[in-house]
Amino acid sequence: MDVRRRSTNKPPRPNLYNTHRRSIKSVDDQHLPSSSTPPTKPSDALPLPLYLTNAVFFTLFFSVAYFLLHRWREKIRTSIPLHVVTFSEIVAIVCLIASFIYLLGFFGIDFVQSLIIPRSIDIDDEEDEQQILQQQNSSLSSSLPPLSPPIVPIVIKPTMSSEQDEEIINSVVSGTTPSYSLESKLGDCKRAAAIRRKALQRVTGRSLTGLPLEDFDYESILGQCCEMPVGYVQIPVGIVGPLLLDGIEYSVPMATTEGCLVASTNRGCKAIHMSGGAISVLFRDAMTRAPVVKFASIKRAADLMFYLEDPDNFDTLSVIFNRSSRFGRLQSIKCAISGRSLHIRFSCSTGDAMGMNMVSKGVQNVLDFLQSDFPDMDVISISGNYCSDKKAAAVNWIEGRGKSVVCEAIIKEEVVRKVLKTTVPALVELNVHKNLVGSAIAGALGGFNAHASNIVSAIFIATGQDPAQNIESSHCITMMEAVNDGKDLHVSVTMPSIEVGTVGGGTQLASQSACLNLLGVKGANQESPGSNSRLLATIVAGSVLAGELSLMSALAAGQLVRSHMKYNRSSKDMSKVV
């Protein structure tokens, strides 16, 4: 007889955890073959005690991680590619992966079990156990809540109420909480954008209705594309093509709000395709950055200029520069002196990235190196506008920046007449008077074209490029000549400063990434680094060629106003309205 049960009328407390475990086991036993072998834990299969095994893999993980980081640091210093690995590094990588998988799956098993399994509580007698078992089975079958709260604590993720959002909005409006810190404080980028949007409407007293907020991945722009978002702008994307360029057809995406632009460029693509396609040549690929430094005298500034432009010093400087990246490779250094100041223009290849950050890091390495031999050098700025970035500058027009491309096509006389609705002599004459003479009279800088920036901007926005770099990227001279005894038209565009990339920046966003994928240039080319960005530059030039050809034809035929009235303007007679 149980003495404990005699001494009190209160029944012993049942172990609900073990009871629930038994009830689940009884259901599972209906589907599993019977076996007399008791169940085992994952730790039972280990040759050593669990804590010793964890310690071994813990030590192995950090040891090989330190070894690999040390080896990669040495490779960067000696300009050895990181993908060239030795046998010891291969073994270290395998050990790192194995130890990581073990620690991810097994680390802390005993610790977790000690929290969720109360091992000190037992069922007092079989009658109580049977009674609790029946209660649990009936509870499970009827989908009712358990008779008493479970022993294992359930963690419920707190939900943010509208009252909490209201408090945050008020703190942003009052200036207590900075708007830019919402993402870091809340840990939810979309919620931060919604709160910032409401706060902005209260502060300005103006509505943002019509500016979309939903259906956008705000996590993807955090820290790389846009700060303090309150929504996003919708720009329609049209497709022109197929553009037959270098024997391959491309469907080119263009994001624009200008009517006729896509249709006009598409007509140019048709004319090029019917004439056998266009040919492109990329003859230069170099991104630039030009810091400005200052000395106490012009002699010291000239000494540094002579040192930098000395061919004997270039190899040393290139090794210092190239440490910043696997793909950044110094190509040339040019200097321009102005009194005690020296502007230094570095040019380097940048792989598939547009490369502004890459070249800036390399330049900083060189400046730090020069400081030892020229301690009196005062670095005024990492960029002194001799680069020149996002500005119309003759240095980019003459020496190029980014990708320099020339593209040509020979349009047959029949195509000019039937598709473009004009004649070869009319196009040649118009090009001379408009693109060459007219631009020269206007004092144009790189603007010897009809509307190259239209096409460049539309493709830049669609593919995630920096729209501000449309300024120098649209530098273009359009040439038209009569060939084949004056019957056919030779048309070409020369663009020395197309600044594009297929990795980094806006190219990582979902919409822009899809447009790059459509062109077959998404991401970095692993087999031939830099080839994707170079191909994108040639596609831009080929599209500009099509746009120039169509617009010039519309001007020569007097179709420009009619087409814009049809596709881009209202058809109402405003005199009758007045």
Is 390 a domain residue?
A: no
Mean pLDDT of 284-305: 96
Question: Among 100-104, 272-276, 481-485, which stretch is predicted with the lowest mean pLDDT?
Answer: 100-104
Classify residue 200 as exposed, middle or buried by CB count within 10 Å of its CB (0-12, 13-18, 19+): middle
* Lookup: tokens for 546: 């099509």
pLDDT of residue 402: 96
* 3-class SS letters over 258-299: CCCHHHHHHHHHHHHHHCCCEEEEEEEEEEEECCEEECCCHH
pLDDT of residue 63: 85
541 to 282, 311, 464, 519: CA distances (angstroms): 10, 34, 17, 14
How many structural domains are present in the chain? 4
Report which DSSP code applies to 353.
Answer: B
Residue 17 near residue 151, CB atoms below 8 Å: yes
In this prediction, residue 156 has a pLDDT band, given cuts at 50, 70 and 90, of very low
What CATH number is attached to the domain comprising 174?
A: 1.10.3270.10
Mean pLDDT of 16-31: 43
Q: What is the pLDDT of residues 203-221, one digit of tens each?
A: 999 999 999 999 999 999 9
Q: Are residues 432 and 313 in the same domain?
A: no
Point out the domain boundary residue: 191, 213, 234.
234
Q: What is the CA radius of gyration of the chain?
A: 35
CA distance linking residue 119 with residue 126, whole number of Å: 18
Of 440, 402, 354, 358, nearest to 541 by C-alpha is 402
Q: Are residues 411 and 545 in the same domain?
A: yes
What CATH number is attached to the domain comprising 330?
A: 3.30.70.420
pLDDT of residue 24: 40
pLDDT of residue 79: 67
Q: Are residues 297 and 260 in the same domain?
A: no
* CB contact burial 393-427 (16+ within 10 A = b; e otherwise): bebbbebbbbbbbbbbbbbbbebbeebbebbbebb
* Lookup: tokens for 345: 């223009």
In this prediction, residue 57 has a pLDDT band, given cuts at 50, 70 and 90, of confident
Q: Are residues 205 and 269 in the same domain?
A: no
CA distance linking residue 436 with residue 448, whole number of Å: 6
Point out the domain boundary residue: 85, 110, 135.
110
Is 78 a domain residue?
A: yes
Q: Are residues 411 and 555 in the same domain?
A: yes
Is residue 9 scored above 50 in pLDDT? Answer: no
Is 120 a domain residue?
A: no
The dihedral through the CA atoms of 71, 77, 78, 80 has a sign that is positive
Is 324 a domain residue?
A: yes
CA distance linking residue 507 with residue 516, whole number of Å: 8
263 to 260, 270, 449, 566: CA distances (angstroms): 5, 11, 19, 12
Q: Are residues 201 and 177 in the same domain?
A: yes
pLDDT of residue 572: 57
Give the ranges where 78-188 is alpha helix by DSSP (H).
87-106, 109-116, 126-141, 162-174, 182-186
Q: Which residue has the higher pLDDT, 79 or 60?
A: 60
CA distance linking residue 392 with residue 401, whole number of Å: 12
Which range has highest mean pLDDT (43-47, 172-176, 243-247)? 243-247
All residues at 6 or more sequence positions from 525 whose CB lies less than 8 Å from its CB, including other chains = 352, 531, 532
pLDDT of residue 509: 94
Q: Are residues 423 and 504 in the same domain?
A: yes
Q: What is the pLDDT of residues 76-129, one digit of tens each?
A: 777 677 777 788 888 888 888 888 887 777 655 444 444 444 444 343 444 444
Report which DSSP code applies to 330.
Answer: E
Q: What is the pLDDT of residues 415-472, one digit of tens each?
A: 999 999 999 999 999 999 999 999 999 999 999 999 999 999 999 999 999 999 999 9
What phi, psi does 353 have (nearest 5°)? -85, 155
Q: Are residues 412 and 535 in the same domain?
A: yes
CA distance linking residue 244 with residue 519, whole number of Å: 12
Q: Which residue has the higher pLDDT, 250 or 115?
A: 250
Side-chain-facing half-sphere of 167: CA atoms under 13 Å: 6
Point out the domain boundary residue: 74, 93, 110.
110
Is 143 a domain residue?
A: no
Of 339, 396, 352, 361, nearest to 291 by C-alpha is 361
The catalytic residues are 258, 390, 466, 564
* Lookup: tokens for 503: 């990795």
All residues at 6 or more sequence positions from 373 whose CB lies less than 8 Å from its CB, including other chains = 307
Is 517 a domain residue?
A: yes
Mean pLDDT, rounded, of the chain:
83
Is residue 183 scored above 70 in pLDDT? Answer: yes
pLDDT of residue 571: 56
Is 485 a domain residue?
A: yes
Q: Dihedral angle at the C-alpha atoms of 567, 569, 575, 578, nearest 10 degrees?
A: 140
Q: Are residues 101 and 221 in the same domain?
A: no
Q: Helix (H, G, I), strand (E, B), or coil: what is residue 339?
A: coil
Question: Among 191-195, 536-540, 565-569, which stretch is predicted with the lowest mean pLDDT?
Answer: 565-569
Q: Are residues 554 and 406 in the same domain?
A: yes
Q: Which residue has the higher pLDDT, 519 or 324?
A: 519
pLDDT of residue 122: 42
206 to 66, 198, 199: CA distances (angstroms): 55, 10, 11
For the residues of 363-427, what is the DSSP string, one character each? HHHHHHHHHHH-TT-EEEES--SSS--SS--HHHHHH--EEEEEEEEEE-HHHHHHTS-S-HHHH
* Lookup: tokens for 557: 């035929």
481 Rama class: left (phi>0) / alpha (psi -120 to 50) / beta: beta
Mean pLDDT of 278-302: 97
Q: Are residues 464 and 537 in the same domain?
A: yes
What CATH number is attached to the domain comprising 457?
A: 3.90.770.10
Q: Are residues 170 and 227 in the same domain?
A: yes
In this prediction, residue 522 has a pLDDT band, given cuts at 50, 70 and 90, of very high
Is 94 a domain residue?
A: yes
CA distance linking residue 562 with residue 264, whole number of Å: 13
Is residue 4 scored above 70 in pLDDT? Answer: no
What phi, psi does 114 have (nearest 5°)? -65, -25
The dihedral through the CA atoms of 377, 379, 382, 387 has a sign that is negative
Report which DSSP code applies to 181.
Answer: G
Question: Among 50-59, 132-141, 475-484, which stretch is predicted with the lowest mean pLDDT?
Answer: 132-141
CA distance linking residue 393 with residue 396, whole number of Å: 6
pLDDT of residue 162: 81
Mean pLDDT of 38-44: 48
For the entire predicted model, the pTM comes to 0.70
Q: For residue 69, give its domain range.
A: 50-110
Question: Among 48-62, 331-345, 350-364, which stretch is predicted with the lowest mean pLDDT?
Answer: 48-62
In this prediction, residue 506 has a pLDDT band, given cuts at 50, 70 and 90, of very high
Of 420, 434, 406, 425, nearest to 492 by C-alpha is 406
